[in-house]
Structure 1
Amino acid sequence: MKVKTISTENFVLTKMTAADGDKYFRLSNNDNVMKYVTGHALDRQESDKMLRTFLAEYGNDTFLGRYLIEGRYSGELIGTAKLDMDGSEAEIGYRIMEEHWGKGIATEIARGLIHFAKQTLNAKQVIAYVNVDNAASIRVLEKAGMVNAERIEDLDEVKFKFIYSPQKKSRMKKVLYVILGLIAIVLVAAFIMPKDYAVEREVIINRPKSQVFEYIKSLKNQDNWSVWMGKDPNIKKDYSGTDGTVGFTSMWEGNEDVGKGEQEITKITEGERVDTQLRFIEPFESTNDAYMITEEVDPSATKVKWGFSGSMPIPMNVMLPFMGMEESVGKDFQDGLNNLKGLLEK
């Protein structure tokens, strides 16, 4: 069988032969490159002996064995690599010339070997061994999608066994990135979007201003015209204080349509305006300022304005456009004012 080369984006891996002694010596005659292999640089005799040992392991009729790593376009010597099989597990390895360290080459080679082992050799698992002190190579394997699975203490070396386990990790990373991206989008939107909201509606009531104001400053009277009272016939009401004066509080508790909360008169400008504070307790907690204003149109007609305002904290304010305050609350306010008009004009 003619052994094919292994290619990555920038490099070509070619099975080594006895003719590669000079190239292998250039790599092995370096203390730093051989630090975690033999502990020292090899002389030519030692290098040739090691190469012969490698070549004796596998012949030319298999993808397994030792490879030279060379630049795909330049032909420059980059280092060596290996592919071994142990049962259904494929073991990968690499050594890179010192002048090419720190360029991401080892990571590209490791990924290329993993891909080749999985796709061509049909390896069920891809493994690699690395000395526990070889921090640089540990980072390379992690970048290539491998994880530390075991610590092995041999007589001459303490090493880690790494296994290729990218899918779960990759999916988790993707999910994490999506979540972080969504959070970032929400936070950016929250700082850009407004936090304050306000709704106001009005109606003309054909009654004198004094009569209209005297009626609307009573919170108990709201039960006669507010649309929310009609949403729960069994609503529970309670009161505290003197109606029509500052401090009077109307409390309610009903079904999911009306929830639970209270409304307190906070200020009265006689004949002009009643300010209240709405404190919602259920189904969510919220505090809003509300008001009713009377304006004379003519001696027998009065314009009544009913409105409320509030602020939603970051990042919850991103929900404002979806809550439909202006439409839903505005409709209830307008329906309530129409009820008030019909009641007072009888």
Structure 2
Amino acid sequence: MGEPHVVTLRATRDGDLDALFAFEQDEAAVRMAAFTPPDPSDRAMFDAHWRRLLADPTVDARTVRADGEIVGSVARWFEDGAAEITTWIDPAQWNRHIATRAMRLFLDTLGERPVRARVAADNAASIAVLEKLGFQQVGTEVSYANARGAEIEERIYVLA
């Protein structure tokens, strides 16, 4: 399976949530993401979280599609007045450059800079995506990672 021909983004819809929830059930992906809800398998909590996101006019949540198939999500919200972004791609689609392409498309639509991103310090794949897109590491902090049940180092990146 090579790179998809077309990667697109569209506003996330209620009908996308089943697929997005399924992607977040992969144990390796949850561990890599580290900063997840306390119980990623809690569908009611997942739905409540997405209802809040979709109702918040300051949040920009998009569904990522590759060749027409839902493969993940990207989102921007504001934390302490700063724009912050995140992405989650179906683990079955990893190593196809979808995250990089989706994030590039998403960043092209955002007017605000700087944009911040956070990542577990040992998440080499996500770090590579951020650095490929021009993000620079500006700091670290130790935060509690639900998926690991421990405090871990988190890298903070900024795209100016």
Asked whether the two chains share a fold, i.e. TM above 0.5, the reply is yes
Asked whether the equivalents of residues 69 and 78 of structure 1 are also in contact (C-alpha less than 8 Å), the reply is yes
Question: Structure 1: how far apart are the matches of 2:7 and 2:30?
Answer: 22
Greater Cα shift, 127-136 or 16-25 = 16-25
**Larger Cα Rg: Structure 1 or Structure 2?**
1
Question: Structure 2: how far apart are the matches of 1:43 and 1:137?
Answer: 25
CA RMSD of aligned residues (A): 2.5
Asked whether the equivalents of residues 92 and 114 of structure 1 are also in contact (C-alpha less than 8 Å), the reply is no
Greater Cα shift, 125-134 or 43-52 = 43-52
Paired residue for 2:126? Answer: 137
Paired residue for 1:44? Answer: 43
TM-fit CA distance, 1:51: 2.1
Q: Does 1:81 align with 2:74?
A: yes
Q: Does 1:107 align with 2:100?
A: yes
Paired residue for 2:91? Answer: 98
Q: 2:11 aligns with which of 15, 21, 36?
A: 15
Paired residue for 2:62? Answer: 67
Structure 1 regions of 5+ residues with no counterpart?
A: 1-8, 166-346
Asked whether the equivalents of residues 25 and 40 of structure 2 are also in contact (C-alpha less than 8 Å), the reply is yes
Q: Does 1:128 align with 2:128?
A: no
TM-fit CA distance, 1:45: 3.1
Question: Structure 2: how far apart are the matches of 1:108 and 1:27?
Answer: 18
Residue 154 of structure 1 aligns with an amino acid whose one-letter code is: S
Residue 44 of structure 2 aligns with an amino acid whose one-letter code is: Q
Asked whether the equivalents of residues 88 and 124 of structure 1 are also in contact (C-alpha less than 8 Å), the reply is no
Give the 3 Å change call, closer, same or farther, for CA 22–103 of structure 1 in structure 2: same
Secondary structure, aligned partner of 1:49:
helix
TM-fit CA distance, 1:39: 7.1
Residue 139 of structure 1 aligns with an amino acid whose one-letter code is: A
TM-score (ref. length: structure 1): 0.38
Please list, as runs of the form range in 1=range in 2, the aligned pairs for 1:308-319 lying within 5 A after superposition: none
- Alpha-carbon deviations, 1:149-202, whole Å to 9, x = none? 11022344531110125xxxxxxxxxxxxxxxxxxxxxxxxxxxxxxxxxxxxx
Secondary structure, aligned partner of 1:50:
helix
Question: Structure 2: how far apart are the matches of 1:55 and 1:107?
Answer: 23
TM-fit CA distance, 1:127: 1.5
TM-fit CA distance, 1:86: 4.6
Please list, as runs of the form range in 1=range in 2, the aligned pairs for 1:1-346 lying within 5 A after superposition: 10-35=6-31, 36=34, 37-38=36-37, 41-56=40-55, 58-59=56-57, 64-71=59-66, 74-86=67-79, 89-117=82-110, 121=111, 123-156=112-145, 157=151, 158-165=153-160
Asked whether the equivalents of residues 8 and 102 of structure 2 are also in contact (C-alpha less than 8 Å), the reply is no
TM-fit CA distance, 1:143: 0.9
Question: Structure 1: how far apart are the matches of 2:108 and 2:15?
Answer: 28
Question: Structure 1: how far apart are the matches of 2:72 and 2:140?
Answer: 27
TM-score (ref. length: structure 2): 0.76
Give the 3 Å change call, closer, same or farther, for CA 50–155 of structure 1 in structure 2: same
Question: Structure 1: how far apart are the matches of 2:39 and 2:102?
Answer: 24
Question: Structure 2: how far apart are the matches of 1:82 and 1:107?
Answer: 14
